Structure 1
């Protein structure tokens, strides 16, 4: 398993925050968790620059918005 350094974790957090900024109240737990998981997967695949993580986060948000919702 690839070790995530503090700078990479900071990039992940920044990408998450910048992407969720467009959502009301910064997004709910479900969308933030979805994006965070995609960021973690990308970082484990060594896509670790701020630019790469920003792209991953924005695509994850688009995927989340387009995904069918499960009934509650």
Structure 2
């Protein structure tokens, strides 16, 4: 599957989760490149793609965002 197809599937899933009120609070946007961004809300599932021993995060772990703001988000496994 190409990234465009994956992005389209993810957008459809997020739309459904919002409609069912499974994503809550304000949506925050983070630019990952000049033309690409990611949106986050409480309830989003995220996948870590690096290991950070200080934060006790392993590459490949999933977590759920519990709160999000302009400068940080909190997630739990």
Structure of greater relative contact order (alpha carbons < 8 Å, 6+ residues apart): 1
TM-score by length of 2: 0.32
Query: TM-score, with normalisation over the residues of structure 1?
Result: 0.33
Greater C-alpha radius of gyration: 2
Higher share of residues assigned helix? 1
